[in-house]
Amino acid sequence: MSVRQALLALLEEEPRYGYQLRAQFEQRTGSTWPLNVGQVYTTLTRLERDGLVEGAGEDGEGHVIYRITDAGRAEVANWFTTPVERTQPPRDELAIKLALAVTVPGVDVGAVIQQQRSATMAALQDYTRLKRRAAEGSRREDLAWSLVLDSLVFAAEAEVRWLDHCEARLRRAQLERPEALLEEILAEEADEEASR
């Protein structure tokens, strides 16, 4: 799991204790994936058990310091040189919702799409506001956080594009149904009749 590798990578920079590791992780990734300190210590215990880190005594204030071992360095190197695996697609509630919306009778699919598009657009605006703030800093950590934000931005953008695409395909499917075309023509004629 990525927390394990991330903590290990932070320890490759320099020996650190639990709170420092959590603070560094959050500084570089924003609070996008908040870590609790318990999780950090559990992970450190496992890393120590697996021989990837070792205790390096305490600092003056009683914090237990950890440092990386050679096996740990090898693990970090391996992490950075291996692509992240794309296994089973994660369960995507939106895709499932749309798949059901287009098949279950009586659902206004257009409304489902637009409601989601507005919500995703609003999230995208929030990320962009955060980005404007993050971009003001010039430290390496600000760049790291800004890149994590970009990842969220691109993912949200992809979702909006997919929704646009769904909408266009639904429209086409609608038009390709001859009886739908007839209904539309009749409705238009009725409109004209009414406006006369």
> Sign of the CA dihedral 190, 191, 195, 196?
negative
* DSSP 3-state of 114: helix
> Sign of the CA dihedral 55, 52, 69, 67?
negative
By the rule CB under 8 A, 122 interacts with other proteins: yes
Distance, in Å, from the CA atom of 91 to the CA atom of 145, rounded to the nearest integer, reads: 26
Structure tokens that stand for 59 in this block: 């600092």
**Residue in this structure with the two tokens 């257009």, named with its chain if needed:** 110
Among the residue ranges 77-85, 100-108, 160-168, 178-186, the one whose residues contact other proteins (CB under 8 A): 160-168
Q: Minimum Å distance from CB 138 to other proteins?
A: 15
By the rule CB under 8 A, 56 interacts with other proteins: no
Q: Minimum Å distance from CB 47 to other proteins?
A: 37
Beta pairing, strands 64-68 & 53-58: antiparallel
Q: Which is nearer to other proteins, 54 or 157 (CB)?
A: 157
Q: Which is nearer to other proteins, 14 or 191 (CB)?
A: 191
By the rule CB under 8 A, 157 interacts with other proteins: yes
Which residues sit at the interface with other proteins, rule CB under 8 A?
114, 117-118, 120-122, 124-125, 127-128, 132, 153-154, 156-157, 160-161, 164, 168
